[in-house]
Amino acid sequence: MSSVQSDRDEVVADIGAAGVNGTDAVASPSLYEAVREVGGGWTWKFDPGIFAREQFTPELLTRLDCRVALFRAEYGIVTAQLSEVMYDRLGRVAPVVEIPAAGHHVMLDQPIALVAALRTLVSDWDHSLPGTPPGPGTGPAA
């Protein structure tokens, strides 16, 4: 995607060129809210301050006191290896769900797969108890 386009419609069309699926049915109306006019044309809105705040680290996962699930896109920026690190830090009790054929914009790439995964998870959480990491001396190796 180029950074500035002369026409607003061209900027929105670029998301399709980037491999995002389903833009007509799901995202097109909201995509027009995600662009802004700049000198010379139109570009995506972006907050450069997002990188100025405290960075997320896997160590932060050891401090959570609520139920957690890890969702990752098959072609997203969170690698399978990073997911494994996060899973370890969560005590190996959090569900890990990969959304197939999705990139960075999971909701745009695979909206039906994401909603199905979320519904399945919430349905399970509706009648299950949160997992707790096994204590020392428990599990198959004990």
Amino acid at 71: F
| pTM summary value | 0.63
Residue reference for tokens 């180029």: 2
Position 113 pLDDT exceeds 80: yes
Tell me, what's the pLDDT at 137?
55
pLDDT tens for each residue of 54-107: 776 767 777 777 888 999 999 988 999 999 988 998 888 889 999 999 988 888
What is the pLDDT of the chain when averaged over all its residues? Answer: 79
Could you tell me the pLDDT band of residue 1, with boundaries at 50, 70 and 90?
very low
Helix or strand (DSSP H, E) at 97:
strand 96-99
Domain boundaries, the chain: 8-46, 55-125
Tell me, what's the pLDDT at 123?
93
Sign of the alpha-carbon torsion through 100, 104, 105, 106: positive
**Do 92 and 66 touch, CB atoms closer than 8 A?**
no
What 3-state DSSP class applies to 73? strand
